[in-house]
Amino acid sequence: MVSSSGIGEILKKVSCARSLTDYAGALVHNKEFFHKKYHPFINAIYRLSQKSPEKTIPDALQIVRTGSSKLVVNTMHKQGQYLNEILEKENLSKSDRAKIKSFADYLNNITLLPKKKDYDEKYHETFDNMEFADKKKIAFLVNNSIMSAFNCRGALYYDKEQLKGLSPQTFIVKQMLSYSQNTLKNVFATKSDSPADNNVKFLICGECAPRYKTFNYIRKSPFGKEHLEQYTRDISAAICENKLSGNNKYIYDFIKAANVSDKNLLKRSSVSGVVQSKIFYERKCNYIFEKFEKIPCASCGTETITHEQKLKLFDEIKKCENIHELKNLVKINSNHITPDLRILVERFNALIGNNPDISGQELMEALQKSGKEDLSKHMNSVCENIKTFVDNNDFNFIEKEIINDFIFWVRQECVDMPYRQEFRYDNYNKMLEDTIGTLHNANKTKLINIAKEDLKDIYMEDFILHPPAELVKQSGNPVKTMFQNIFKMSVLTVDHTEARALGGSDEYFNKVGYCKFCNIQKGKKPFDVWAAKHPEINENLLKHLKFISKIIKQEHIKEMEDYPEKAARQAIRLARGKINIPTNYDTKD
């Protein structure tokens, strides 16, 4: 596609051409901006310029105009041959076979250019009532080629009144480029289609724009998925070339909107690592230390990794040819694994130690079974803790029945969950809201907290052990994907000591670096609650701020010299006596 300003530049070049060679050169140089159906015109002009450069541009246009009728006839013959091949390859009904044979004979026997009206009647007579499942695809391929030839011929004919001051050589190019001009359309033409995503727009060419009514027009076309994938690749290329600076997230918004009608239409995971990295830095909070390596997590102390390190590790994992190479790679990078996820690595190593010839599938199944045992123990503990709390507090009969409904559901759905089945946190949350969440008892909040206690730990473990199919396809096998997800949890992310949801500031004094795992676990919890549950913060926050102080000093980041002190004071204030760390740090030369 091409913008209106781009069309203007091309027209300026072709209008200034004084020789056939110059005209052909301008067309060939901008060939990518013309719809494919007009490439035969450009090719013909170029061949003439090479064979007879002395000819004038009007003479060349007349020659090509005459040959365009022959192009239509030849295209019909080719499509007739294609239909004969379909008759040989496909298992068609007697009725469908007769229709296709009749249409193929019609196309093969054409000698003079037929009227478009006659062709249309024959085409619809053939395909409108066919039974064959792939009839739309066959009809599209045949008709698209023939109509492209008809359109290419049509663009060469015009009335003098249409020129409006343009030369014929310029007018013809303008007509052709009108089909390539980009037009901005909403993914959803009306609010009723999808109110939430109605503002997401995408570019569509001038040929398709008049026919566009809903996104399903593209999605359901024979090559719709292929064209949409190409569109996302083109947008990705634009991001890599910094043409969408400040709006790189658009590609995620488009994929999300496109998938409303078909959740498997486009895969966000198919976006290249380079693009993901650009989007990551565009969307992240302003925290300059995310680009520095080996910073200890302020919560668990894990040696964090940068986004670039993560992508490099992902590539190294994909290159591992067997489980033992993978084991060695994990061992080398073990300092980047968070404490809560080390249990998975320990189980992985134990399984290989007990059976060096174990397959990847057997490994994954064994790990999933162990993970479901963890889930079962946790859920049994949740049920017992809820029962104990209910016994020791004031709940009426109806409230107890509602609570028992939740306990029954947990035991049925979560305690004995098959090891291959993924634990759905959203399902658990919904059931909690539909039962205990409906109570009007003063102890409802405490009961919900018991039901959610340490649940994110279990959920994260289960999620890592059940990687999505599209990610498995990219990495090669589920074991590799599991370790990619494990290391992903060690990426340094910014955490607001006082959560912004609780009124926390976005100023630097309210920011520290957490690994992604701890950041997810902390969520919107008040810092004093988090610190009480994780006393190791007292030691790890100090390590974190000391490491940051070295960076500030070594990199001469003058504007950040007072950051460690302010961040420490903020944490001490919010911890309400749960931590006690120094407030003086060496950040100056």
Higher pLDDT pick, 572 / 114: 572
Residue 285 has pLDDT above 70, yes or no: no
Tokens of 496: 């607001």
Would you place residue 535 in the very low, low, confident or very high pLDDT band (cuts 50, 70, 90)? very high
**Residue 68: which pLDDT band, with cuts at 50, 70 and 90?**
confident
Residue 346 counted as domain residue:
no
Final residue of a structural domain among 177, 212, 241: 177
Q: pLDDT tens digits, residue range 246-281?
A: 677 788 888 887 777 666 777 776 777 677 766 666
* 31 within a domain of the structure (yes/no): yes
pLDDT of 183: 74
Q: What are the residues whose beta carbons fall under 8 Å from the beta carbon of 79, sequence distance 6 or more?
A: 107, 141, 142, 145, 146
Could you tell me if residue 496 is inside a domain?
yes
Structure-model confidence comparison of residues 150 and 480, the more confident one: 480
Tell me what the mean pLDDT of segment 475-497 comes to.
92
- Same domain, yes or no, for 172 and 130? yes
Q: Is the pLDDT of residue 282 over 80?
A: no
Q: What is the pLDDT of residue 236?
A: 79
Q: Are residues 163 and 198 in the same domain?
A: no
Spatial distance between the Cα atoms of 483 and 514, rounded to a whole number of angstroms: 19
Q: Which two tokens stand for residue 280?
A: 């990551």
In a domain, 350, yes or no: no
Q: Are 232 and 271 in contact (CB under 8 A)?
A: yes
- How confident is the model over 5-58, as pLDDT tens digits? 888 889 889 888 899 999 999 999 988 888 777 888 888 888 899 999 899 999
As beta bridge partners, residue 492 has 515
Instruction: Judge whether 294 and 513 are in contact, CB under 8 Å.
Output: no
- pLDDT of 196 > 60? The answer is no
Which of 123, 153, 177 is the endpoint of a domain?
177
Token output for 282: 């565009």
Residue 365 placed within a domain: yes
pLDDT of residue 193: 47
At 203 the pLDDT is 75
| Helices and strands of the chain, counted as H and E runs | 27, 4
Top-confidence range, 25-39, 88-102, 205-219: 88-102
What's the start-to-end Cα distance of the chain, in Å?
A: 55
**pLDDT category, 187, cuts 50, 70, 90?**
confident
Q: Is residue 409 part of a domain?
A: yes
What is the pLDDT at residue 69? 87
Give 511's strand partners.
496
CA distance 204 to 207: 8
pLDDT at position 217 is 63
Range of the domain at 416: 360-465
pLDDT of residue 195: 43
Provide CB contacts within 8 A for 1, sequence distance 6+: 33, 180, 181, 182, 203, 205
Same domain, 133 and 29: yes
The 3-state DSSP class for residue 230 equals helix
Verify that 82 and 10 share a domain, yes or no.
yes
Q: How far apart are CA 195 and CA 210, in angstroms?
A: 23
pLDDT digits (tens, 9 = 90+) for 460-472: 999 999 988 878 8
Q: Tell me whether residue 313 is in a domain.
A: no
**Is 404 within a domain?**
yes
What's the CA gap between 131 and 116, in Å, rounded? 25
Q: Give the chain's length.
A: 589
Do 38 and 145 belong together in one domain? yes
Least confident range from 86-100, 148-162, 208-222: namely 208-222
Return the minimum-mean-pLDDT range out of 321-335, 459-473, 482-496.
459-473
Which residue spans within 400-552 are E strands per DSSP?
492-496, 511-515
Plot region of 90 (φ>0 → left; ψ -120 to 50 → alpha; else → beta) = beta
Regarding whether 505 and 399 lie in a shared domain, the answer is no
Q: 234: pLDDT confidence band, cut at 50, 70 and 90?
A: confident
In this structure, are 171 and 39 located in the same domain? yes
Q: Which of 125, 142, 177 is the last residue of a domain?
A: 177
Whether 456 and 402 share a structural domain: yes
The total domain count for the chain is 4
Are residues 64 and 170 located together in one domain of the fold?
yes
Q: Tell me the average pLDDT across 52-78.
A: 89
pLDDT tens track for 121-166: 999 999 988 888 888 888 888 988 888 888 778 888 877 778 888 8
Give the pair of three-digit tokens for residue 290: 């995310």
Q: Percentage of the chain with pLDDT > 70?
A: 91
Which residue did the predictor score with more confidence, 566 or 35? 566
Q: In this predicted structure, what is the pLDDT of residue 215?
A: 67
Tell me the Cα Rg of the chain.
33
Query: Does position 306 have pLDDT exceeding 60, yes or no?
Result: yes
Q: Are residues 268 and 402 in the same domain?
A: no
User: Does 553 have pLDDT greater than 90?
Assistant: yes
Question: What average pLDDT score do residues 92-99 get?
Answer: 90
Does 496 share its domain with 557?
yes
Of 373, 540, 522, 545, nearest in space to 462 by CA: 373
pLDDT score at 566: 95
Banded model confidence at residue 192, pLDDT cuts 50, 70, 90: very low
- Alpha helix (H) ranges present in 90-134? 94-108, 116-127
What is the arithmetic mean of pLDDT over 357-370? 94
pLDDT value of residue 474: 80
Q: Which CATH number is 523's domain given?
A: 1.10.30
Do 21 and 166 lie in one domain? The reply is: yes
Residues 143, 118: Cα–Cα separation, whole Å: 14
> Which residues, including other chains, have CB under 8 Å from residue 502's CB and lie 6 or more apart?
524, 526
Q: Which of 456, 449, 412 is nearest to 404 (CA)?
A: 412
